Amino acid sequence: MTTKEYNLAIDEYADNLFRFARKQLGNEMSARDIVQEVFTKVWIRKDEVNYEKVKSYLFTTAYHAIVDWVKKEKRSGEMDQANEPVTDSSQPDLQEILHNALSRLPEIQKTVVLLRDYEGYNYSEIAEITGLNESQVKVYIFRARKTLQNYVKRLDLVI
């Protein structure tokens, strides 16, 4: 990959990577750190990365960096404090409800749903990024969507 292609990759995918990391982590500063770390790793390996596959490479690298970050935070005990929902007296909007529902999913389900529904990857691309096979990806997406659906239905009764 050339320097020009690297800069194009930043322009094209930095926002998507940030959104993905922020949804996964629930923390804007950590998401920024992840994006910076990903692009640093790509720069170091720019001669080995094919520009046609840079999107997949970026998200795979981000996914692994997020997994490492989550493991580190769980060991230090700070993860629980960072993901506590902020409540206010006003009616929650749909985005807040979905964010809370996503935060309750297991990490792998959350990852595949974000890659599929937020970032628009197909099943084979998600499988490549996460290291799962396509059948596993489909099962995790199905289970995550069912869990999200049940969570939103329960809130309908309360609200």
Backbone phi and psi for residue 98, each to the nearest 5 degrees, phi listed first: -65, -40
Residues 6+ apart with CB under 8 A from 117: none
Residues of the chain with pLDDT under 70: 75-94, 155-159
pLDDT at 138: 92
In this prediction, residue 53 carries a pLDDT of 85
Q: Identify the DSSP state of 115.
A: I
Six-digit token string for 110: 């959350």
pLDDT at 89: 45
Element (H, E) at 138: helix 134-158
Query: What is d(CA 54, CA 75) in angstroms, rounded to the nearest whole number?
Result: 32
Cα separation, 83 vs 76, whole angstroms: 14
pTM of the model: 0.60
Which pLDDT score is estimated for 135?
A: 92
Structure tokens that stand for 96 in this block: 């807040």
CA angle, 97 then 20 then 39, to 5°: 160
The answer to whether 65 and 38 are in contact (CB under 8 A) is yes
